Amino acid sequence: MSKSGSKSSQKKPVNKNSSPSQNLCARPINDDTDDSIFCEGVCKDWMHRTCAGLSKAAFESARESPDDYFCHYCDSRCLKEEIKALKWRISSLEAEL
């Protein structure tokens, strides 16, 4: 009983794109069937609505909004920077008291 090459585990080809974003998935975006949105943050790329964590309503409003869209990944990065800046301001204000 020496069967070889009959393993049922099929390996799917993995695209190893060196993406700068941690948010983008490997699935291609189908313009006809997938809702997609462009992140103006670090990603600078299109992503699926679901990957961006947007509800249908949130997606529609984000699309209609003239403001640039930032995905939750880029958004949290920006917020972190803002919090840092605010903390720094608070400590400098406290020093003045």
Instruction: Quote the least distance from Cβ 63 to Zn ion, whole Å.
Output: 15
Task: Please give the residue ranges that form the binding site for Zn ion (CB under 5 A).
Answer: 25, 27, 39, 41, 43, 48, 51, 71, 73-74
Helix (H, G, I), strand (E, B) or coil at 47: strand
Helix (H, G, I), strand (E, B) or coil at 32: coil
Q: Which is nearer to Zn ion, 44 or 87 (CB)?
A: 44
DSSP code string of 69-86: P--HHHHHHHHHHHHHHH
- Identify the DSSP state of 44: -
Instruction: Quote the least distance from Cβ 20 to Zn ion, whole Å.
Output: 10
Give CA separation, 63 vs 2, 52, 70, 83, in Å.
59, 13, 11, 27
